[in-house]
């Protein structure tokens, strides 16, 4: 089955397990979006945030990545504190110099996409990243990967670059061609927050690093190259 354009993403049926799962979700929750969730945000953004996949009562319900669930609530609190969103309420916020997407555009059972689904969907992520690189040519830009799955998916797209990627951890960073900073962050999931692995301050630290980089305020001494 061929890859569709980003505009046609809503019609993608390349992962049979996820298509079937959405069919059950649409039956159980008729008002839910229950379809591939596209990238959204500021079309001229220099910061791209990449999550794992839509959450059942978040993006799979609202149709917007990180809108409608607790992960999004924490993310938007952090974005708003750094003037990267117009409101801490994801339902009404405009993103400022930020776009948000997921490595996998469809809701996976138990929030766990299988390797084949991550690889299949990566063609869309690749186009989203290329679009940002095209419009930001010569200007600093940053990708923030929320969680190890998103980090690995992004890392695979840059497998041909000579740089050694930093091992995933919170705050891991790799500089590509001196103008693209790739950052790792723990995912702001309810589980990570409840277990103390992730908190607002940690999230703001990574968001702040991305913002400083795209504004040209970071030196290049802190990165893996
Ligand atoms: S996960 Fe991605 S590739 Fe798979 S069906 Fe959804 S949009 Fe298509």
Structural domain boundaries enclosing 161: 12-214
In which residue ranges of the chain is pLDDT below 70? 2, 218-225
Is 36 domain-assigned?
A: yes
Residues 6+ apart with CB under 8 A from 205: 171
Is 1 domain-assigned?
A: no
Half-sphere exposure of 176 (CA within 13 A, CB side): 20
Is 5 domain-assigned?
A: no
Q: Is 18 in the pocket of ligand 1 (CB under 6 A)?
A: yes
Tokens 């900073």 — which residue? 181
Q: What is the DSSP string of 132-144?
A: HHHHTTTS-EEEE
Number of domains in the chain: 1
Q: Is 60 in the pocket of ligand 1 (CB under 6 A)?
A: no
Q: At what angle do helices 115-135 and 148-157 cross, to 10 degrees?
A: 60
Beta-carbon count within 10 A of 157 CB:
17
Ligand 1 centre from 94 Cα, in Å?
26
Give burial (CB, 10 Å; 0-12/13-18/19+) of 189: buried
Residue with CA nearest ligand 1 atom 3: 121
pTM over 0.85: yes
| pLDDT in the model for residue 8 | 87
CATH of residue 67's domain is 3.40.470.10
Direct distance between the N- and C-terminal alpha carbons of the chain, in angstroms, rounded to an integer:
37
Is 3 domain-assigned?
A: no
Q: Is 102 in the pocket of ligand 1 (CB under 6 A)?
A: no
Is 225 domain-assigned?
A: no
Is 127 domain-assigned?
A: yes
Give CA–CA dist 105/41, Å, rounded: 15
Is 4 domain-assigned?
A: no
Residue-wise pLDDT tens digits, 14-53 = 999 999 999 999 999 999 999 999 999 999 999 999 999 9
């Amino acid at each position: 089955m061929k890859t569709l354009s980003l505009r046609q993403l809503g019609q993608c049926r390349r992962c049979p397990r996820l298509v079937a799962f959405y069919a059950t979700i649409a039956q159980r929750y008729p008002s839910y979006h229950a379809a591939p969730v596209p990238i959204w945000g500021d079309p001229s953004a220099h910061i791209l945030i990449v999550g794992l996949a839509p959450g059942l009562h978040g993006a799979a319900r609202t149709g917007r990545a990180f809108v409608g669930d607790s992960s999004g609530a924490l993310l938007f609190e952090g974005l708003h504190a750094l003037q990267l969103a117009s409101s801490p309420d994801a339902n009404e916020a405009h993103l400022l110099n930020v776009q948000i997407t997921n490595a996998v555009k469809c809701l996976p059972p138990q929030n766990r996409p299988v390797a084949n689904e991550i690889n299949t969907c990566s063609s869309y992520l690749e186009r989203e990243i290329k679009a940002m690189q095209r419009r930001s040519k010569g200007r600093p830009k940053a990708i923030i990967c929320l969680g190890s799955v998103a980090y690995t998916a992004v890392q695979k797209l840059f497998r041909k670059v000579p740089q050694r990627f930093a091992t995933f951890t919170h705050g891991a960073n790799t500089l590509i061609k001196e103008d693209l900073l790739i950052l790792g962050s723990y995912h702001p999931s309810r589980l990570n927050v409840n277990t103390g692995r992730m908190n607002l301050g940690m999230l703001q630290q990574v968001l702040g690093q991305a913002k400083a980089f795209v504004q040209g305020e970071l030196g290049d001494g802190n990165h893996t190259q």
